[in-house]
Chain A
Amino acid sequence: MLEVDKLRAGYGAINILWDLSLTIREGQTTVIVGPNGAGKTTLLRAIMGLIKASRGDIRLNGRTTANRATWDIVHDGVIMIPEGRLVFRDMTVEDNLMMGAFPRHCRKGAKQNLAQVYDLFPRLAERRHQAAGSLSGGEAQMVAMGRGLMEEPKVVLIDEPSLGLAPVVVDEIFRIIARLKREGRTIVLVEQNTHRALAVADHVYLMRSGQVALSEPASAVNLDRLHDLYFAAEAAGA
């Protein structure tokens, strides 16, 4: 459904992704792990069209996204839940969440989805009129998550959703991801918490210095070996 083909991309003169290829299958949950700076966020940005490929291609249902704008990709049902730092800081929590329903096809269900998000994160309901910039890191993360749910995605790219969250909230986040999976949505999950991520994964990629270092079905993954590779990567990167 989503193919990344020998992708080379980066920021200006700095190249980050080096001929990276991977395949995301419809309805599956693909987990991407890797050390800090491996280029995981950069890959998600490239898929969303926020940065352009200098070489290689990204195809959605066989069609290249090279000349498509981010907002068009979003309207096609591919969305990204970025880290909490990317909330709209000077807008209220509720306005942030409502922005998730901006794509036309999401507007009808906005009211209902909003109530559902408040159900999932009662903290956000308490702070609905507060500026998102004044939230704690964990709360901002919840806003980013809730905002993404408002977008009713077909394919959802989630960037480290558990970062900085208390264990109970992490449980909640993974329950939500499991639910999205049951609903048949395609999920790409970037996550440092390999143990938790593996529990929902169908396929696992390990990224290292802008390349794929390991690609395995989740059932074949050996956590010890993954961790070895992971830390080898960190040692090599250091």
Chain B
Amino acid sequence: MSELVLQSLYAGLLAGGYYALIALGLTLIFGTMKVINLAHGEMVLLAAYIAYTAESVYGINPVLAIPLAVAAVVLTSVMVYGLVSRIRQDRELNSLILTFGIGIVLTNFVLMVWSADIRSTNVPWFNEPVVIGEAFYSTSAQVLFFLAGLGLTAALWWWLGRSWYGRALRAVASNRNAAMLMGVNPRTTEVISFVIAGLLAGIAGVALYTVAVIHPDLGHNLTIKAFVITVLAGLGSIPGVLVGAMLIGVAEYMTITLASSALQELTGMVMFLLVLFIRPSGLFGSRGRVG
């Protein structure tokens, strides 16, 4: 029994790395623009299907398809920004409706192009077992994208905290007029944040395809997962995303091990509610902060 618990702890932590990948883009946009991109999950899914096509049609390893998937999702992300930035009033609220609609369009696009079948990778390498200490079992894909999640979280954190444009993005979030007085064009920084969100969503999509199975109506599940992690983290906290994602991962695997896999998706929602009741600012939250 305790071995099973340890194994699910390990699996949960690994899953957290790739859950973080899924959440980072949403957190970035939300933390800096107060816009919740409800099409985020569909963008991740789009990348997953591009990886699938690259593998099944052209025989390209999904990992090598990352540049293509990223390019497509970045383009989508910038188009989403193009529409969101046209909102003149109540951007926070109206962007919800707008991005919800974009999500539906994307879902239908995926259905039309790839049909409703369930897909997963056939490249054996991804499913090769990686055994650590003879006790912890995982696959190569899980380990790979756990590491990618760690690395990209750290990179995003560095970028927001230390780079010129990351700092400028936080400045725009903090005081738009004052940022303009520092020579910042707010639209440039916002486009950059959507480009980065697209980049992360693209990589997350390829991770999703190699780690799990995909089907066209997975999009909103992914959005919800990303949103739950964002709230758990404390809105806008990047290190919080990693911790929140790992908590969700561990809680899900524990639920599967100790209860039933049917309850897996519920676990995240329960944690979400608990956080809202007990610590609404999230694990790392201080109001309105990003970084």
Q: Which residues of A contact B (CB under 8 A)?
A: 48, 50, 69-71, 74-75, 79-80, 82, 86-91, 95, 98-100, 102-103, 107, 147, 151
Contacts and interface: CB of A to CB of B under 8 A. Distances in A.
Interface string B155-185: 0000000001001101100110111111111
Nearest to A98: B167
B181 A48 contact: yes
B178 A103 contact: no
Contacts of B82: none
B175 A102 contact: no
A102 B168 contact: yes
A90 B185 contact: no
Contact of B180 (A70, A88, A90): A70
Nearest to A81: B181
- Summarize B's interface: helix, strand, loop or mixed: helix
Interface of B: 164, 167-168, 170-171, 174-175, 177-185, 286, 288-290
A74 to B, nearest CB: 4
A75 B183 contact: yes
Residue of A79, A86, A102, A151 with most partner-chain B CB within 10 A: A102
A90 B289 contact: yes
A116 B177 CA distance: 26
Contacts of A95: 167, 170-171
Nearest to B287: A90
B177 to A, nearest CB: 6
Nearest to A48: B181
Contact of B179 (A79, A98, A99): A99
Given A90-B288, A91-B171, A102-B168, A151 B183 contact: yes
A82 B183 contact: no
A102 B178 contact: no
A90 to B, nearest CB: 5
Nearest to A96: B171
Ranked 10 nearest A-B pairs via Cβ:
A74-B183, A103-B183, A88-B174, A70-B180, A86-B178, A99-B182, A71-B185, A102-B182, A71-B183, A90-B289
Given A91-B171, A95-B167, A99-B168, A86 B177 contact: yes
A88 B181 CA distance: 12
A102 B164 contact: yes
Contacts, number: 69
A91 B183 contact: no
B270 to A, nearest CB: 31
Given A98-B167, A102-B168, A90 B174 contact: yes
Contacts of A88: 170-171, 174-175, 178-179
Contact of B184 (A48, A71, A91, A107): A71
B175 A74 contact: no
A93 B199 CA distance: 31
A79 B185 CA distance: 15
A114 to B, nearest CB: 13
A65 to B, nearest CB: 14
Contacts of B175: 86-89
B218 to A, nearest CB: 35
Contacts of A151: 182-183
Contacts of B167: 91, 95, 98-99, 102
A74 B177 CA distance: 12
B57 to A, nearest CB: 45
Contacts of A86: 175, 177-178, 181
A82 B181 contact: yes
A103 B182 contact: yes
B181 A80 contact: yes
A74 B170 contact: no
Nearest to A104: B183
Nearest to B165: A102
Nearest to B173: A90
A101 to B, nearest CB: 8
Contacts of B185: 69, 71
A151 B178 CA distance: 13
A70 B181 CA distance: 6
B179 to A, nearest CB: 7
Nearest to B290: A90
A102 B170 CA distance: 13
